């Protein structure tokens, strides 16, 4: 039986792209900065991160993604850090 491989993004990749696009938008700069600082602060405490007060619906979704995809979240933070320096 031949295996068919499709070239579609997984939901994780789509979320990563969505977060990056959102963070790069000028109107989201301050919100993205607050989210990034929170992710850095709680990088080694994912359970505590999820207990923090909401920063907004999008940010909550991004935090859940970051906890589920910690290495990808670190890589994304490094890419986005260049934007805010």
pLDDT tens digit sequence for 55-72: 999 999 999 999 999 999
* pTM (predicted TM-score): 0.79
1-55 pLDDT per residue, tens: 544 433 334 444 558 999 999 999 999 999 999 999 999 999 999 999 999 999 9
- The whole-angstrom distance between residue 43's C-alpha and the CA centroid of its chain comes to 12
Can you list the alpha helix ranges (DSSP code H) found in the chain? 11-24, 29-41, 46-51, 57-68, 70-84
The three-class DSSP label of residue 4 is coil
Residue 71: what pLDDT?
A: 94
What pLDDT band is residue 84 in, cutting at 50, 70 and 90? confident
Nearest to 76 by CA among 29, 23, 28: 23
Neighbours of 51 (CB within 10 A): 9
């Amino acid at each position: 039986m031949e295996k068919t491989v499709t070239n579609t993004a997984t939901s994780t990749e789509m979320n990563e792209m969505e977060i990056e696009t959102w963070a790069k938008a000028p109107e989201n700069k301050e919100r993205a900065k607050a989210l990034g600082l929170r992710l850095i602060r709680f990088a080694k405490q994912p359970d505590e991160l999820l207990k923090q007060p909401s920063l907004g619906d999008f940010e909550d979704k991004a935090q859940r993604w970051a906890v589920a995809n910690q290495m990808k979240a670190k890589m994304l933070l490094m890419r986005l850090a260049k934007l805010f320096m």
